[in-house]
Structures are given as structure tokens and as C-alpha cells.
DNA sequence: TTCTTTATCGAAATCGATTTCGAATCTCTT
DNA sequence: AAGAGATTCGAAATCGATTTCGATAAAGAA
């Protein structure tokens, strides 16, 4: 029960494998009767050409690679889901890997994927990445690079991000309109662009409503998980801050903080209104349910793959990569944790 | 800036590409001085052989494929996480796809992956799958097949499952020990093995504690999501059942049911104790927090890949696939939703 | 010294497709 | 009827590695 080869088809039909290949690749110099004969036979025996051989010849693998900083994260999972949906529809294969937010791992993965001749690499840069030579190498080798989420502006490739600054602005504005005047903000590190943008959006809103900015009210949590959310809230408390609102860096951090506030017998949202970030599944089911920013990650994933397809078109016309930054808008999902007047 | 080929290395060193290849593949008929010379040079220029070419020759792609019924599901996400961790450590590439629980899609994916010459396919069978020829084909082509979660016992390949029957037994026993005597059970369809096993575990526990089984108390939800959990609870209510416990088919279904019970002013766990299934993230943060069965999915993923490695060993010794069913134990995580005496 | 063995190397075949280019046939002008 | 042009085909080169097998030289045995 060996696998059929091009040659088997050809000799069965009494023609050359060249012609069979031409039919399968829609060459025009094939008589329509032979074409039909081949197509019928191919369909009948269910022949599919060995991809490996054609990859070697054409240098195209119909495979795209996705490198995520981590997997245990709804946001990235959804991005994968979006990419997978569209890539599968287009008969592309998707290879997934995680950098575990480690620079060395990221470099190694990129090099491995290049060796495997993937057509494109979709990447959210790791926290630790400090140098971008490995990404430039991707383009040097004629592969398509699409950055998303944690991007690097100086690189000459299409980028997809959420408008975090605006989202953060809207979330903060929502708190203000609900009567908050002392708004705490948990941000992740100083470097990540998303952290910067969210911080700026927060300040934009304070500015617009003439609320004085208080440096102390911005607390850095390198990783915005429950534990850090909890301890950040504790820290604010111990510093004796007066607080009536919180814009957290993630739903998890928000929930950690709520946990702390509850322990202190504070009522959410009456005493402190809270807004998270991410619209993770748990945000809907926590008590109180959490107002949060939905990042429409699935849509982002779909967008990423579509951009890749466009880039391929550009490339086929010998044009250079687009370099455009695609900004998707996030939207606020208002739930119990921030609606004092309910 | 072209990519280096074997021939480039060879002529730079004044030897043949055969010898270079032999060094890289640890052949013994190479002089140790030439070997070192080659290795040094290869390291210096950072040469890596074109995978596509070697794949064509060797028929091994160092790629494994994972086909999941769906992605928006913590359980499968964690399985992927486990597989990815170990596969990455072993320099394997992981291709992911979803069947969307559709038989046709599953068949198509399997055929595509076979054409791409993946070394193994890891698969959780789709709900709709009624025929297994496509899976037998995997083995006919000498590829390794590992089934998990939704498996098919008649197939001759290694399988990895959770001991759902026992887990379900423990969960039900836990409810009984907490004083429940009228335990509702939501199960998914009649065919899936996990649904059957969980149902059996439920009955095992009833038997052990001499609690009469009431057919009416088992409600089928094809898809165990919140909506169906909600309506299943509603149905039980409308049928006028007396209930003091619920073993749901998933955390989501449990939470949907809790939502309904809350609407009816019933207290959880006082009036009705609830146990979910899956230990999804939200279970920890729902109110009340949800007692649930943790399926240790990450570990399951790791196990799957390790089994693949073992199978490869078997294969290299020309032995037939192992056919063993690996049963991992799940453990109960007790939280508020089921502890009446707190 | 002659014959065997062993160590080391490389030419050539191979994997299975794609693609170039020239040959053969047929049609259509003039 | 001859030449131009279009149509259809296939032999052979190619992609870049792996692997077989024979050649050569060196070492050891008789």
C-alpha cells in the first residue's frame, strides 16, 4: 500500500509526469482533454502530491509560525484561535511555539522556523528581548514577519496592536464618570509598549477631567497576576492612600486586588470601583462581575493572517513590506465592579 | 546574503559534501581531524542544513500534529501547553489544527498532515466522527497515532485518558458525604466515552451508598456550556424534582445551573451543593467558588508527547504500536460550592 | 613480500516534485 | 506549398540534502 507518486499517475495514463504536474499546477499548455483525464483520475485515486518534494523545489511551505510569549493566557490563546481559523480556511498549516518570555528561546525558535522554511512568522516579542537582529534576519531571508501585541516600532514590517491608550482612556473616563477621583493604576514594567500606552491613556483621562495626577498612585507589577494584584493593593493600602477607583493592568490583577479589598471589608463598587483589562473568561463570573476592556483578540488573530496574505501579494509584485501599524479598537464591557449607581 | 548549502561548506574546506553530511549525521567513517575541522567551521559560520531537503530524503519531519476538537476550551489549551513544552524541549515542531468537532474537517486535516509527512498525529476524536478509516490510514502510512480524551477503544494505538469514571465517583461520593441524597447529573451526549464513564462513576457512587438511582435525574446536554447548564437546571426545576446536589458535566454547565438556582433564591451550597468538571480558571473566581474535578491536562499533554517518543523507539525496533491505554488520575478540588458545613 | 582488513573518502543515485526549453504537431496566412 | 504562429507535450535539470557503494590508502597478518 505505497503512496502514489506523480510518475505512477503519469504511467497509468500513458503520459509524462511533467504533464500531470502541469495540470495540478494550472499550467496553460495542457490540452483540455488531457487535463480532464488527469483530474478525473487524480480524483478517483485520491492522489495528493508529496508536499515535501514540492516544498524543496518551490521554497514555499504553506506553513506559518506563531511564537507566543506564553500559552496560559486567554489573550494569546484567542489570538491563536483567530489565526488558526483563517489559516485553516486557506489550507495553511500553523506551527505554534512559546518563547516563555525568554530572549534566547525566542532567537532559537526564529532560527529553527527559518530553517524549516516557514512562509511567515507571527510574533509577539518577549519581555526580555533587547536586540532585534533575529527579526531582521527573517526579512533578509525573504520571509514575512508580522508583529503583534508587543511590537517594536523601529522594525520595518506590518504590526497589529490594540489601541491600548484609547482603551485605557475610555476605561479611566468611565471610572471618572462614575464619580471616581482617586484612581489607582497598576501597570506592568516600564518598557513594554502596552504598559506605556495604558499609562498614557490613564493620564489622558485625568487631564481631560482636570484630575491632578499623583505619581504614587501608579504601581508597577512586572507580572500582572492575582498575587501581584493583591500585594499592589496591599501596598497602596499600607501607604495610606485614599482610593475610590482602580484601573488594573489585567483582569487577574483586578481580581487579586478585589480579594484584598474584600478582606478589608471594602465594598466593590461602592467604596472602590474596579476596571480590569482583557475580558478573560473569569471576569464574567467573578463576584462582583468585572468591568473590563475586551481586546477582541480573536479578531486580532484573524487580522494577522489576513495581513500576511496581503504581504504575500505585495511580495509577488516585488514591493517592499508594508510597515503599516494596524490599530484595532478595544471596547469597554461594563459590569458590576464599576457601576456605583446600580 | 544567500543561505549556505552543504556544498559551500565542503568546497570551503576542500572536501566533499558527502563527508560534511556524514559529520553532521554522526557517521563513523570520518577521520576525527576532518570531523573537528568540519564542526568548527560549521559552528563558525552558523550553518544549518536545509530541513526541507533532508525531510524529502529521510521522510522524517521532526514535526508532530495536534488536532483538537476546539480551542476555546481550557482543557484542550492546557493539553497543547503540555505537548508544546516537551516537544519544544526535543526540538520538534508542533502543528495545531481544530476539527471544530466536524467529521469532514477531521478527515481533511488528517489527510493534509499525512501529506505533510508529520511524524505523528495526536488526536482527540470529534463528536461527529463515526468512522475511523482515516485514523487507520495514519498507521498504514507508518505514522504514529496517539489518541487522547475522546478515544476509540477498538483502534490499535496508544491512548491517554483521564480516569473519568473514578473522578466522577469521587466527586459524587464527596456530594454524598456532604449530605446530598438527590443528586442531579448533567451529562453530554450518549456516545462520547467520557460522558459514559462519568455517568458510570456517578452510578457507582450511588450504588456504594445505597442511594436509589433515578433515571430522570440524568439530563443530557449535548454541549455542556452555561446556557445548557442553565436550561437543564430549569428543566429539572420545571419537572418538580427535589434536588440537593448537582454533578455537572463541566464547570460552565455548573455555573449556568448555579445562575438559575440563584435566580430561584436557592442557596449554594446550603440548598444545593454543586460540583463541576474541569477546574477551569473561572471556577476559582465564581461565587461561590466551584468545587471541581481537575483533569491535570498539562501533565496529560506532556504524557502524550512522551508516549510518542516511546512509540518511535518501538518502531525503530520494528515492533508494532503499543496499544496501551494510559489512565491518568484526576483529583477533586473542594471549594465553596459543595461544602455545606462551612 | 603478499594478502587481508580497516579506515577514510567521494562520485553518483536518490527522494518526488517543479520548471525550463526544445521538439513535434497542427492551424492559418499568404 | 511554404513559412509563421499557436498548441501540446516531455526529456532533463533542479531543489539540497542523505545514503549506497566502490576506490584508495594505510595497517596488520601470514
Containing B89, the helix (H) or strand (E) segment is helix B74-89
Are the beta carbons of A96 and B98 separated by less than 8 Å?
no
pLDDT of residue A133: 95
Spatial separation of the C-alpha atoms in residues A210 and A205, rounded to whole Å? 8
Buried b (16+ CB within 10 A) or exposed e, B235-266: ebbeeeeebbbbbbbbbbbbbbbbbbbeeeee
pLDDT surpasses 90 at B2: no
Strand stretches in B232-298, DSSP E: 245-247, 273-275, 292-294
Are the beta carbons of B116 and A91 separated by less than 8 Å?
no
The DSSP code sequence of B3-59 is: PP-HHHHHHHHTS-HHHHHHHHTT-SSS-HHHHHHHHHHHHHHT----HHHHHHHH-
Spatial separation of the C-alpha atoms in residues A334 and A291, rounded to whole Å? 5
Q: What nine digits make up the cell of B161?
A: 485518558
Residues 43-72 in B having a C-beta less than 7 A from any atom of strand C are 53, 56-57
| B275 — pLDDT class (breaks 50, 70, 90) | very high
Spatial separation of the C-alpha atoms in residues B178 and A205, rounded to whole Å? 51
Q: Is B123 left (phi over 0), alpha (psi -120 to 50) or beta?
A: beta
pLDDT of residue B191: 81
pLDDT of residue A169: 97
Q: Which residue has cell 453530554?
A: B188
pLDDT of residue B342: 53
**Cβ contact A101:A128 at 8 Å:** yes
Burial classification of residue A57, based on how many CB atoms lie within 10 Å of its CB (0-12 exposed, 13-18 middle, 19 or more buried): exposed
**Cβ contact B229:B253 at 8 Å:** yes
Could you say which DSSP state residue B291 is in? Answer: B
Q: Stretch B261-270: mean pLDDT, rounded?
A: 90
Peptide bond into B288 cis (omega under 30): yes
- Taking the domain A164-295+332-338, which CATH number applies? 3.40.50.2300
**Cβ contact A84:A96 at 8 Å:** no
**Cβ contact B187:B251 at 8 Å:** no
Q: Which residue has cell 512522551?
A: B306
Containing B79, the helix (H) or strand (E) segment is helix B74-89
Spatial separation of the C-alpha atoms in residues B39 and B33, rounded to whole Å? 10
Which position has the higher pLDDT, B38 or A318?
A: B38
Provide residues of B within 8 Å CB-CB of chain A. 1, 3, 48-53, 55-56, 59, 61, 63, 71-72, 77-78, 80-81, 84, 88, 91, 93-98, 109, 111-113, 115-117, 140-141, 255, 280-282, 284-287
Are the beta carbons of B78 and A91 separated by less than 8 Å?
no
What is the greatest pairwise CA distance in chain A? 88
| B74 — pLDDT class (breaks 50, 70, 90) | confident
pLDDT of residue B198: 94
Containing B216, the helix (H) or strand (E) segment is none
pLDDT in tens, B154-209: 999 999 999 999 999 999 999 999 999 999 999 988 887 789 999 999 999 999 99
Closest chain B C-alpha to A213 CA, distance in angstroms: 32
Which position has the higher pLDDT, A326 or A286?
A: A326
Provide residues of A within 8 Å CB-CB of chain B. 1, 3, 48-53, 55-56, 61, 63, 71-72, 74, 77-78, 80-81, 84, 88, 91, 93-98, 109, 111-113, 115-117, 140-141, 255, 280-282, 284-287
Domain B62-162+298-328 belongs in CATH node 3.40.50.2300: yes
Nearest to A149 by CA among A223, A85, A67: A67
Could you say which DSSP state residue A72 is in? Answer: S
pLDDT in tens, B215-237: 999 999 988 888 899 999 999 99
- Sheet of strand A183-187: strand arrangement: A218-220, A183-187, A245-247, A273-275
Query: Distance between the two ends of chain A, CA-based, in angstroms?
Result: 70
**Cβ contact A337:A273 at 8 Å:** yes
Q: What is the mean pLDDT of chain B?
A: 93
Strand D nucleotides, any atom under 7 Å from protein beta carbons: they are 7-12, 14-21
Which position has the higher pLDDT, B63 or A142?
A: B63
Which position has the higher pLDDT, A183 or B319?
A: A183
Spatial separation of the C-alpha atoms in residues B100 and B82, rounded to whole Å? 21
- Number of other CB atoms surrounding residue A4 within 10 Å: 15
Burial classification of residue B31, based on how many CB atoms lie within 10 Å of its CB (0-12 exposed, 13-18 middle, 19 or more buried): exposed
Strand stretches in chain B, DSSP E: 63-68, 93-98, 120-123, 144-148, 159-162, 183-187, 218-220, 245-247, 273-275, 292-294, 325-328, 331-333
Spatial separation of the C-alpha atoms in residues A147 and B266, rounded to whole Å? 50
pLDDT of residue A281: 78
Which residue ranges make up each domain of chain B? 6-49, 62-162+298-328, 164-295+332-338
Closest chain A C-alpha to B57 CA, distance in angstroms: 9
Share of chain A above pLDDT 70, in %: 99
Tell me, in Å, how far CA of B110 is from C1' of C18? 25
**Cβ contact A112:A279 at 8 Å:** no
Q: Which residue has cell 496560559?
A: A72
Domain A59-162+298-328 belongs in CATH node 3.30.565.10: no
List CB contacts of B99: < 8 A, sequence separation 6 or more: B67, B68, B69, B105, B106, B109, B126
Q: Do domains B62-162+298-328 and B164-295+332-338 have the same CATH topology?
A: yes
Alpha-carbon Rg for chain B in angstroms = 26
| B266 — pLDDT class (breaks 50, 70, 90) | very high
Q: How many residues does chain A have?
A: 342
**Cβ contact B114:A52 at 8 Å:** no
Determine the Cα angle at A71 with ends A69 and A76, to 5°. Answer: 75
Q: Which residue has cell 457512587?
A: B205
Q: What nine digits make up the cell of A135?
A: 527579526
Nearest to A252 by CA among B284, B63, B253: B284
Q: Stretch B29-44: mean pLDDT, rounded?
A: 95
pLDDT surpasses 60 at A342: no
Tell me, in Å, how far CA of A80 is from C1' of C18? 33
- Number of other CB atoms surrounding residue A300 within 10 Å: 22
| B283 — pLDDT class (breaks 50, 70, 90) | confident
pLDDT surpasses 70 at A125: yes
- Number of other CB atoms surrounding residue B21 within 10 Å: 17
**Cβ contact B98:B71 at 8 Å:** yes
List CB contacts of A89: < 8 A, sequence separation 6 or more: none
Query: Distance between the two ends of chain B, CA-based, in angstroms?
Result: 70
pLDDT of residue A9: 95
Which position has the higher pLDDT, A225 or A131?
A: A131
Which position has the higher pLDDT, A278 or A281?
A: A278
Burial classification of residue B197, based on how many CB atoms lie within 10 Å of its CB (0-12 exposed, 13-18 middle, 19 or more buried): buried
Spatial separation of the C-alpha atoms in residues A208 and A182, rounded to whole Å? 15
Closest protein residue to D15 (Cα–C1'): A57
| A1 — pLDDT class (breaks 50, 70, 90) | low
Q: Which region among B5-19, B168-182, B274-288 has the lowest average model confidence (pLDDT)?
A: B274-288
Share of chain B above pLDDT 70, in %: 99
pLDDT of residue B341: 65
CATH of B6-49, one of 3.40.50.12280, 2.60.40.1170, 3.40.605.10, 1.10.260.40: 1.10.260.40
Amino acid at each position: 500500500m505505497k503512496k502514489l507518486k506523480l510518475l505512477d499517475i503519469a504511467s497509468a495514463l500513458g503520459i509524462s509526469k511533467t504533464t500531470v504536474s502541469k495540470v495540478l499546477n494550472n499550467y496553460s499548455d495542457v490540452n483540455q482533454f488531457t487535463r480532464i483525464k488527469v483530474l478525473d483520475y487524480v480524483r478517483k485515486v485520491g492522489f495528493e502530491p508529496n508536499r515535501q518534494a514540492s516544498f524543496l523545489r518551490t521554497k514555499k511551505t504553506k506553513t506559518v509560525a506563531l511564537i507566543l510569549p506564553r500559552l496560559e493566557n486567554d489573550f494569546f490563546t484567542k489570538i491563536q484561535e483567530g489565526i488558526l481559523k483563517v489559516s485553516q480556511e486557506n489550507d495553511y498549516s500553523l506551527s505554534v511555539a512559546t518563547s516563555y518570555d525568554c530572549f534566547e528561546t525566542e532567537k532559537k525558535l526564529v532560527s529553527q522556523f527559518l530553517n524549516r522554511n516557514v512562509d511567515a512568522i507571527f510574533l509577539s516579542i518577549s519581555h526580555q528581548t533587547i536586540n532585534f537582529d533575529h527579526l531582521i534576519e527573517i526579512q533578509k531571508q525573504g520571509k514575512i514577519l508580522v508583529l503583534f501585541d508587543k511590537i517594536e516600532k523601529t522594525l520595518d514590517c506590518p504590526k497589529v496592536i490594540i489601541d491600548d491608550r484609547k482603551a485605557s482612556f475610555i476605561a479611566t473616563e468611565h471610572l471618572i464618570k462614575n464619580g471616581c477621583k482617586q484612581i489607582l493604576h497598576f501597570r506592568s514594567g516600564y518598557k513594554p509598549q502596552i504598559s506605556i500606552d495604558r499609562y498614557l491613556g490613564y493620564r489622558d483621562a485625568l487631564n481631560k477631567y482636570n484630575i491632578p495626577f499623583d505619581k504614587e498612585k501608579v504601581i508597577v507589577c512586572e507580572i500582572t497576576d492575582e498575587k501581584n494584584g493583591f500585594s499592589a493593593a496591599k501596598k497602596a493600602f499600607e501607604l495610606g492612600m485614599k482610593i475610590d477607583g482602580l484601573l488594573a493592568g489585567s483582569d487577574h490583577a483586578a481580581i487579586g486586588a478585589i480579594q484584598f479589598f474584600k478582606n478589608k471589608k471594602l465594598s466593590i463598587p461602592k467604596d472602590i470601583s474596579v476596571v480590569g483589562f482583557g475580558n478573560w473568561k473569569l471576569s464574567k463570573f467573578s463576584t462582583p462581575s468585572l468591568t473590563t476592556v475586551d481586546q477582541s483578540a480573536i479578531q486580532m488573530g484573524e487580522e494577522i493572517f489576513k495581513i500576511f496574505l496581503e504581504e504575500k501579494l505585495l511580495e509577488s509584485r516585488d514591493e517592499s513590506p508594508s510597515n503599516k501599524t494596524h490599530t484595532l479598537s478595544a471596547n469597554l464591557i461594563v459590569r458590576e465592579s464599576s457601576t456605583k449607581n446600580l
